[in-house]
Amino acid sequence: MNPDALRGHMDALLLSVVEHEPLHGYAIIEALRDRSGGALDVPTGTVYPALRRLERAGFLASEWATVGGRKRRTYRLTDSGRAELAGERTAWTSFTSVIGRVLNPQT
């Protein structure tokens, strides 16, 4: 997966993955890998800063927890984040429609 292709879609992916259950960073990476059938293996250097950015934007909220002697920062979707995710899903649909039409015009 070309990294540049992800540009501008990472937010939607991250928000989507914590939609129904709060997850910590490491688990988010695993969830992305699982949900994509292994196609998405996002490095920690991408995910952790992105999560902080999304929290700063108010779309996520985090809490520290200690599980099995290990510290985790668990992220959950805020109401604002839920609205953002809905918008991102709509944007995704129109994005694929537009690019798809240009890439494969049926003329």
Partner DNA sequence: TGGCTACATATAGAGAGCCTACATGTAGGC
Partner DNA sequence: GCCTACATGTAGGCTCTCTATATGTAGCCA
Closer Cβ to its own copies, 24 or 28, answer by number: 28
The contact mask relative to DNA for 60-79 (x = CB under 7 A, - = no) is -------xxxxxxxx-----
Whether 73 and 22 have beta carbons less than 8 Å apart is answered as no
Whether 102 and 80 have beta carbons less than 8 Å apart is answered as no
Of residues 34 through 73, those in contact with its own copies by CB under 8 A are 35-37, 39-40
> What DSSP string describes 10-26?
HHHHHHHHTSSS-EEHH
Stretch near its own copies under the rule CB under 8 A, chosen from 33-41, 45-53, 64-72, 74-82: 33-41
Binding site for DNA (CB under 7 A): 1, 3-4, 6-11, 24-27, 42-46, 48-53, 67-74
